[in-house]
Chains A and B, each alone.
Chain A
């Protein structure tokens, strides 16, 4: 079923340059719109049952009066050794050959095992049947399933866009060009915090930014050895130390 053509070697990765993030939440909105994520009302937030495939984690640092807000855009890390995968009894989540951590909605039975084993808490459960007001029915994205009650969902790196780009490339008998497409969050980010691409292609911007020797490079909870596919670049400022402690 995969659209990967022979000779292609894709590993979709993302780089998050914390230094550029202003915490404007444009990515969150774009993601909600693109992926038919149910509407999070206030009380849903209060129950901490909100579904945000990408979220901006805000950490306060320093003492009043000089308090700094630190923003950490966090989405599914598409780990190389994803802890969420082997605990699923029904293969509802597994690792595909493009480095994506895939969630198969109609196979999921809702054990929520994966959510417990995800150290980043990036997996979301549909506690209720999602509903949209009549007026919004027509803005649902036809490329994306509307998830049912009782199953897990999470960031897919906008796999529908990846597939579209790949189909196009197949028709035109070429490889997917770097920057030819981007997930909704990347597209919406005004400051270019988020960079997306094929990290197996050494020329791609992503590959350049996530080089192991990059001075600001780090990955979340690296000691767990989950090999996240999302690389973060540290904030450059005098409060570097606090920034690390805050997000790490």
Chain B
């Protein structure tokens, strides 16, 4: 059976926070509702639980990959063509350090960005229950629930002075 997404739109953060409060009292699980804002409010403004994420892992993976590539490139090219230049050793370490420094950071950055997109659950092909007024200051509380709870949830959202409540595909 298809899940439904109920979206309540609020003008003030207080109202939105009340809506979230209602949902929590009604025993809606934390992962079943989301708050959508056009403004980055500090974490916990709406009494929602803190965000859990593994973003910090990504840079390290990237760094390791980048470093490995750099060492392979640096040492490899020098050993592959054993040509003496400027009386420097065939395998000179300092240049390898410089190259690996750059590529390590490059790897870390690229993977961080991948991580951000992945952890923010993007890219998301369909917006689902969404309202363009959210980017104009309204605050949306969207709750995904099964068919039979739709009316109850609609009521919960409505009670918190919602200016509109919409039901869409979850």
Contact = CB atoms under 8 A, between A and B. Distances in A.
Q: Are any A and B Cβ atoms less than 8 Å apart in their complex?
A: yes
B99 to A, nearest CB: 12
A82 B87 contact: yes
Contacts of A85: 84-86
A88 B83 CA distance: 12
Interface residues of A, number: 14
Interface string B56-93: 00000000000000000000000001011111100000
B11 to A, nearest CB: 61
Interface residues of B, number: 7
A86 B83 contact: no
A82 B83 CA distance: 13
A84 B87 CA distance: 11
Interface string A81-103: 11111111001011100000000
A88 B81 CA distance: 14
A95 B87 contact: yes
B85 to A, nearest CB: 4
A130 interface: no
A66 B88 CA distance: 47
Contacts of A80: 87
Interface string A17-49: 000000000000000000000000000000000
Contacts of B87: 80-82, 95, 227
Which of B83, B86, B87, B88 neighbours the largest number of chain A CB atoms within 10 Å of its CB? B86
B86 A91 contact: no
B83 A83 contact: no
A35 B42 CA distance: 75
A87 B83 CA distance: 13
A95 B81 contact: no
Nearest to A95: B84
Contacts of A84: 86
Interface of B: 81, 83-88
Interface of A: 80-88, 91, 93-95, 227
Given A87-B86, A95-B86, 16 more contacts: A80-B87, A81-B86, A82-B87, A83-B86, A84-B86, A85-B84, A85-B85, A86-B88, A91-B81, A91-B83, A91-B85, A94-B83, A94-B85, A95-B83, A95-B87, A227-B87
